[in-house]
Amino acid sequence: MAERKKTRPKAKAKSGTKVKSVRKPKTAAKTGPKPKSKGPDIKGLVIRVCLGTGGLAAGSQEVIDAFHDELKAQGLEAIVKKKCVNKTGCRGFCAKDVLVDVILDGSTSTYQRVRPEKIGRIVEEHIIKGQPVEEWLVGPDYHTFHDKQTKILLKQCGQIDPEDINAYIGIGGYEGAKKALSLTEFEVIEEVKKSGLRGRGGAGFLTGLKWEFCSMSRAFPKYIICNADEGDPGAFMDRSIIEGNPHSVIEGMIIGGYATGANIGYIYIRAEYPLAIERLKIAIEEATKKGFIGKNIFKQGFDFTIRIKEGAGAFICGEETALIASIEGKRGMPRSKPPFPVNKGLWGKPTVINNVETLSNLPSIITKGASWFASIGSEQSKGTKVFALTGKIKNTGLIEVPMGISLKEIIYDIGGGMEKRNRELKAVQTGGPSGGCIPASHIDMSVDYESLMRIGSMMGSGGMVVMDNYTCMVDMAKFFISFTQSESCGKCVPCRIGTKRMQEILTRITGGKGKEDDIDLLVELGTDIKLSSLCGLGQSAPNPVLSTIKFFRKEYESHIKKGICPAGVCKALRQYVVNTENCKMCGKCARVCSSGAVIWQPKQKAVINKSKCVKCGACFDACPFKSIM
Amino acid sequence: MPEKKIKKVKIDGRKIACEREETILQAAKKAGIEIPTLCHDDRLEPYGGCRLCIVQVKGVVRPLPACTTPVTNNMEVCTENDIIRRIRQNIIALLLSNHPNDCMKCEKTGDCALQDLAYRYDVDSTRFEGEKWDLPIREDNPFISYEPNKCILCGRCTRICNEVVMAGTIDLVGRGFNSMPDTAFRRPRTIDNCEFCGQCVSTCPTGALTDKKGRGRGRSYEMKKVRTTCSYCGTGCNFDLNLKDGKVVKVTSAYDAPVNHGNLCIKGRYGYDFIHSADRIKTPLIRRGDSFHEATWDEAIDLIADRFSGLMKKYGNKTVGAFSSSRCTNEENFLIAKFARTVFKNNNVDNCARV
C-alpha cells in the first residue's frame, strides 16, 4: 500500500480541456517519431486495470484493448514485457471505475474514470515522457477512502491477475495451505480457534469451533462447502473476492478440508456471477495442474477435490440447509436444526459450510499466526469485515475495515459523507434485508457482531445502505419486506403469509390508508414471525420493520394520523399546490399535466385541482421557479 | 449401533421416559399430551413447516418445533403458555387469511384439521386482511380434485408423493406467497405423471385435495365405516368402506391398519365401482348348453366335486391340479395347496404370482 501513497495530485485541471488534449497526441502518435532515451525506463512498465464486474461494466475491457493498441501504435510493444497490461479484480472504489494503475520506475500512479479515449494521452505523456497526466489522477477522496481501511482480503484484489496462479504464488499464495498440511489437524483447528475468526455469513459462529464439531465425527466422507450464494441486494463482497483473488478461497477450502477431514469441497455459487464462476474454474484448473488440488496434495498424503455447483437464483439457498438440499437436487428449502450440518449435512454426512469471506481469511491466519489476526478488531469480533457501502453516500464501493470501527468513521471518513450537500444522515441499514436500521443518533456505535445485535440489526453478509433525510423509513421497510416475502421458500406459515401481511400493512400505510392500530399489529406480527419462523430468513425478515418502528415510530404515526410522509417519498401522501408568490404564470405546469388538473389561463397564476391530480409529479419537475410544492 | 438409551423428559410437569431418537411430539403423544400440528403425518419424515407445534423448552429462548426437535435428557418442556398460544392463534389466523371461508359447503367439514384448530384456539379469521388466492378448482383427472385456494402448504401431499410413493408427481412450485404444490410445469395430472394412488388425498388436512368420486356424496361424520381387507392382491391392506345410505361412497384407510399403515394404491382406494355395479355376478353360474344359469353355492360345489372325482377316477389323480390367484390371501393360498395335497394327493400346485 505504500506505493500508492506516492501518488498525490498536485494541480487541479479544468475538465473542459480534456477531450481536446486527448485527440492531439493520439493523431500525432501515429505519424510521429518513436521517442527514446529521454523518457523513463519502460521495460519495467506494469499497467493494472480493474476488471471486476463493476470495472467491466464501466468499460475496462475496452481500456485494456486501447492500451494494447496504443502501445502497438507507439511501437513500444517490443520493449515492454508481454504481460505488462494486467487484469486485476475489483479494488472496491467502484464509484470511480475504471481505475488504472501505471507503475513506472517503481512509482505507482492511479488514474480514475479512465475511458479508452484517454489512453492516448496517458501513454504519450506518462509512459513515454514520464509525466503523469495530473488532471486524471485520483483525487484526495481515493486516499481517504483507502486510508481508514485495513485490507487483508481485498489487499490483493486489484493488484494481482486473478487468472494467473503464479501471480498468487508470487505474493506468498498457497503457503498457508502448505503450512497447514505440515501441522496436525488438531493444531490447525486450535490455531483457527485462537484467532477468534467468526463466520462472515451473518450469524458469526466461531469457525474453529464449527470445524472441531465436524472433525470429531468419524463418518466418511465429509464435505466442506463454500457458500458463495450471495444474494443480499447491493452486497457484492463475495463476488469481488472470487473475481479478484479466487485462489485465496480455494486455499481456505484446502485448509478447512484438511482440518475437518473433508476430502470433497463444493463451491455453491450463484449462476448470476458468470465472471466469478469463470475465474474459479480457471483457478481450480490451474491449482490442479500445480498439484494443490487432487490426490496427495503438497505430497502430504491428503486428497482434496473441489466441485462447483451453480445456484439457480433462489435467495433462500444461501441458508445452509437449503443450500445442501439444492446441491442434493431437491427444492432449495431449509430444514429444522438440529441436526446441524456438521453432524448431518450433505448426503447425510458431516459437512462444514463456510462463507467465501471466512475461507479467504484462513491463508493469512495460518501464515501470519492466530495472534496477528486476533490483534485486529474488537474484543469479541476479530479481524476485518468487508462491507458493500451504498446509498446516499459520496464514495460507494467495497470497503474492508477492522471490526469495532465506528459507524461514523465508515460514513464520514471512508464514505466521504452524504452524497448531496445540505442533506443529513438519517439512518444506516446493515445486514441487508434481514438487518435492521440504525438511526443517526447511534452513529458512534462500534461495528461488531454484538453491538449490531444489541441494537436490533445484524452483521449479515455485510451490506450497508446509508440513508439521508429524504428517505422514507416506512417505504424503506416496505422495500425490504417485499424482498424477503418474494424470496420466502413458502415452507413455514409465519414467513410465507406473515411477511405478506406485513407488506400489505406497510403498503396500506404508505398509500395513505393506514389504520390506527396498524403499528401495534406490525409489532405483534413481526415479533411472532421472528419467534416462530423456521430459518434465519423468516426469523430476521421483520427486522427492518421492527427497528424502524423502534427508532422512527413518529414517521409511521405521521403517515397514519396526519397523512403526511415527512420525507416526501410516498406518492399517495403527496399533495401538489402552487405557491402563488413564486408563480410567474408561464403555464409550463399546465402543458405537462396529462390529467387536466392544472387550471391555468395566460397571465393568470396556476391552480391545481386536487380531485383530478394523479400526483405524477410532472408539474413539479416542469416548474422552473420551484413554485409547485 | 449405539445402544437405545432411555431419556427422562418432563412435559407439562409430567415425567416421561423416552427412547433415544424420539422427538418431543412423539414423547408427548405417548403420554397423551396433544400438541397441535398440521404438517405432521406419522408416515412422513418430520417437517417443521406449520410451526403450530412449537413448544417452550426450558433454557432455550426461542420456541422449538416439537415435531423435529429430539428429546434430550432432563429436558423440560411446556407445551402451551400465553406466548405460544398467541403465536398459534396468529399462525392459524394467517392461514385463514388466505383460505376461503366456505366451510358450509366444503367437502372436508367435520374432518378438517384446520377447522378443528380454529375452533380450539378461538381464532378470529378476519384478523389479517389481504390478498387471497383466487384460483380455479382443478379437476383435470378422474380421481383427484384439487382446490388450491384451500391449500395451507403443509407439504404433506408432496412429501407423501416423494417419500412414500416415490412417484414424484407433485412438489412445491413457486416462491413466497405464491408457492403451492403442483406438478412439474403445472401440467395436468395424467397417467403419464401420476399413479392416482390418492395418497396425497389421504394425508391432506384440509379440503384442498379430495376424492373426486366421493364429492358431494356426504361428509365424513355421516359415514358408517366398515373395515375390510382389500381383495385386489395378497398384500392384505386394510381399509374402511365409507357407507352412506347403504352405499359405498369412498374408501379411507386408518393409520392403525397393521399392514399398510393408512397407505393404499389406486385399486384399493378407487377401484370400488364394481360393488354396486349392475353387471356384478352375485351367485355362482353353471353353464348348461350355451348359456349360464344362476345356481346356489351347494349346487356349484357339488358339481365341482363330481367332475374332479370323475376325472381322477378315469385318468388318475396326477392329471388334476390346483391353480390359485395372487389376489387371494396367504391363508386362502395355503388352503388350496393343502386341498391339492390331501384331496388330489399330488403336488400340482401353482399360483399366478409365480410368473
CB contact under 8 A, B97 and A534: no
CA nearest to A339, candidates B72, B36, B11: B72
Q: Is B51 in Cβ contact with A496 (below 8 Å)?
A: no
Q: Given CATH 3.30.70.20, say whether it is the number of domain B97-276.
A: yes
Alpha-carbon distance values, B26 to A591, B1, B4, B30 (Å): 73, 22, 16, 6
Q: Which residues contact A250 (CB under 8 A, 6 or more apart)?
A: A280, A283, A284, A287, A292, A293, A306
CB contact under 8 A, B95 and A493: yes
Q: Which three cell numbers stand for residue A526?
A: 413481526
Considering only CB atoms, A504 lies closest to which of B47, B95, B131, namely: B131
Q: What number of other Cβ atoms are within 10 A of residue B27's Cβ? A: 23
Query: At A397, is the secondary structure helix, strand, or coil?
Result: strand
Q: Do B153 and A528 touch (CB under 8 A)?
A: no
Q: How far is B86 from chain A (nearest CA, A)?
A: 8
Q: Which residues in chain A have their CB less than 8 angstroms from residue B97's CB?
A: 497, 501
Angle A195-A442-A207 from CA coordinates, rounded to 5°: 20
Strand partners, B241: B226, B251
Q: Which of B47, B94, B172 sits opposite A490 (nearest CB)?
A: B172
Question: Which residue is closest to B49 within chain A, CA to CA?
Answer: A492
Contacts of A244 (CB under 8 A, 6+ apart): A52, A88, A89, A90, A91, A154, A156, A157, A158, A160, A162
Task: Give the nearest chain B residue to A518 (CA atoms).
Answer: B128
B63 Cα to chain A: minimum distance (Å):
7
CA distances from B63 to A400, A456, A544, B77 (A): 37, 19, 22, 10
What pLDDT was estimated at residue A574? 81
> What's the CA gap between A35 and B246, in Å, rounded?
108
CB crowding A498-516: b at 16 or more within 10 Å, else e: bbbbbbbbbbbbbebebee
The string of pLDDT tens digits covering residues B50-101 is 999 999 999 998 999 999 999 988 899 999 999 999 999 999 999 999 999 8
Please give the pLDDT value at position A127: 83
Q: Do the Cβ atoms of A489 and B179 come within 8 Å?
A: yes
Taking the C-alpha atoms of residue A317 and residue A314, their distance in angstroms, rounded to an integer, is: 6
d(CA A118, CA A66): 9
**A552 alpha carbon, distance to own chain's centre:** 27
Neighboring chain A residues of B178 at a CB cutoff of 8 Å = 490
Contact status, residue A92 vs residue A159, Cβ threshold 8 Å: no
Beta-carbon separation of B128 and A501 below 8 A: yes
Q: Are A473 and A555 in contact (CB under 8 A)?
A: yes
pLDDT for B144 beyond 90: yes
The answer to whether residues B340 and B348 touch, using CB atoms and an 8 Å cutoff, is: yes
CA distance A591 to A589: 5
Give chain B's mean pLDDT. Answer: 92
Give dist(CA A221, CA A492) in Å, integer.
Answer: 32
pLDDT tens across B148-169, in order?
999 999 999 999 999 999 999 9
Q: Helices (H) and strands (E) in chain B — how many of each?
A: 8, 16
Select the residue from A343, A480, A496 to test the B interface by mutation, using most B Cβ atoms within 10 A: A496
Size of interface A-B (CB pairs under 8 A): 105
Q: How far apart are the C-alpha atoms of A18 and A414, rounded to whole Å? A: 28
Q: What is the tens place of the pLDDT at every residue in B19-48?
A: 778 899 999 998 999 999 999 999 999 999
Burial of A105 (0-12, 13-18, 19+ CB in 10 A): exposed
Contacts A496 to B, Cβ<8 Å = 153, 176-177, 179
Q: Which CATH class for the A575-629 domain?
A: alpha beta
Find out whether A194 and A213 touch, Cβ atoms under 8 Å: no
| Cβ(A28)–Cβ(A131) below 8 Å | no
pLDDT, position B355: 67
Nearest to B97 among A314, A336, A501 (CB): A501
Lookup: cell for A56: 467491466
pTM of this prediction exceeds 0.90: no
Those residues of chain A that have pLDDT short of 70 are 1-40, 82
| Cα dihedral A63→A67→A68→A72 (10° resolution) | 150
Q: CA-based Rg of chain B, rounded to a whole angstrom?
A: 27
Structural domain boundaries in chain A: 2-142, 165-374, 386-468, 473-562, 575-629
- HEC assignment per residue over A574-622: CCCCECCCCCCCCCHHHHHCCCCCEECCCCCCCEECCCCCCCCCHHHHH
The minimal CB distance from B98 to the residues A497, A499, A533 is found for A497
Decide if B174 and A490 are in contact by the 8 Å CB cutoff.
yes
Measured in whole angstroms, the distance separating CA A35 from the mean position of its chain's CA atoms is 43
CA-CA distances (angstroms) from residue A607 to A571, A623, A624? 20, 13, 16
**A500 chain-B contacts, CB cut-off 8 A:** 130-131, 176-177
Quick check: A8 and A134 in contact, CB under 8 A?
no
CB A494 to CB B70 under 8 A?
no
The distance of B97 to chain A (nearest Cα, Å) reads: 8
Among the partner-chain residues A314, A336, A500, the one whose CB lies closest to the CB of B130 is A500
Q: Say if domain B7-80 classifies as CATH 3.40.50.300.
A: no
CA dist B131 to A216, B29, B149, Å?
A: 49, 36, 12
Check A528 against B86: CB less than 8 A apart: yes
CA distance A317 to chain B (A): 12
Give the largest CA-CA distance in chain B: 87
Cβ separation A485–B177 shorter than 8 A: yes
Rounded Cα distance between B128 and A521, Å, is 9
- Among chain B, residues having any CB pair with chain A shorter than 8 Å are 46-52, 54, 62-63, 65, 68-70, 83, 86-87, 90-91, 94-95, 97-98, 128-131, 152-153, 155, 171-172, 174-180
- Please state, in angstroms and rounded to a whole number, the distance separating the CA atoms of residues A590 and A599: 7
- At residue A14, the pLDDT reads 41
| Helices and strands, number each (H, E), in chain A | 26, 16
**Is B68 in Cβ contact with A500 (below 8 Å)?**
no
Strand-pair partners of A351 = A223
Domain boundaries, given as residue ranges, for chain B: 7-80, 97-276, 285-354
What is the Cβ-side half-sphere exposure of residue A588, based on CA atoms within 13 angstroms? 15
Handedness of CA A614, A479, A567, B128 (dihedral sign): positive
For chain A, what is the radius of gyration of the CA atoms? Answer: 28
Mean per-residue pLDDT, B98-106: 93
The secondary structure of residue A315, as a DSSP letter, is G
How many Å lie between the alpha carbon of A540 and the closest alpha carbon of chain B? 13
What's the CATH number for A386-468?
A: 3.10.20.600
Q: Which residues does chain B have within 8 Å of residue A526's beta carbon, measured at their own beta carbons?
A: none
pLDDT at A38: 54
Taking Cα atoms as reference points, which of A551, A555, A561, A493 lies closest to residue A525?
A493
Minimal C-alpha gap between B150 and chain A (Å): 14
The answer for residues whose C-beta is within 8 angstroms of residue A430's C-beta and 6 or more apart is A436, A438, A447, A452, A457, A458, A459, A460, A463, A464, A465
Kindly list the distances between the CA atom of residue A537 and the CA atoms of A314, A431, A484, A543, in Å, as whole numbers in the listed order.
12, 12, 7, 10
* CATH superfamily of this structure's domain A165-374: NADH-ubiquinone oxidoreductase 51kDa subunit (3.40.50.11540)
Cα–Cα dist B161/B166, whole Å: 6
- Residue A106's pLDDT is 79
Q: A491 vs B49: CB contact, 8 Å cut-off? A: yes
A interface with B, Cβ–Cβ < 8 A, is 314, 331, 333, 335-336, 338, 485-494, 496-501, 504, 524-525, 528, 531-534, 539
Kindly list the residues from chain B whose CB atom is less than 8 angstroms away from the CB atom of residue A203.
none
- For residue A537, what are the β-bridge partners? none
Phi, psi dihedrals of residue A111, rounded to the nearest 5°: -105, 145
Q: Which three cell numbers stand for residue A601?
A: 389561463
Reported as a single tens digit per residue, the pLDDT across B239-292 is 999 999 999 999 999 989 999 999 999 999 999 999 999 999 999 999 999 999
The pLDDT score that the predictor gives to residue A488 is: 93
Place of cell 426461542: B62
CA distance between the termini of chain B: 39
In angstroms, the separation between the Cα of residue A531 and the nearest Cα of chain B is: 6
Q: What is the identity of the amino acid at A28?
A: A
Across B172-196, average pLDDT: 93
User: Which among A491, A494, A525 has the least Cβ separation from residue B155?
Assistant: A491
Task: Give dist(CA B91, CA B96) in Å, integer.
Answer: 9
| pLDDT in the model for residue A354 | 94
Ramachandran sector of residue B5 (left: φ over 0; alpha: ψ -120 to 50; beta: rest): beta
- The residues near B263 (Cβ < 8 Å, ≥ 6 apart) are B43, B164, B199, B202, B237, B253
What is the predicted pLDDT for the residue at A41? 73
Q: What's the CATH code, domain A2-142?
A: 3.40.30.10
Contact call for B90 and A524, based on CB within 8 A: yes
- Domain A473-562: give its CATH architecture: Up-down Bundle (1.20)
Residues in B closer than 8 angstroms to A331, CB to CB, are: 171-172
Is B69–A491 a contact, with Cβ atoms under 8 angstroms apart? no
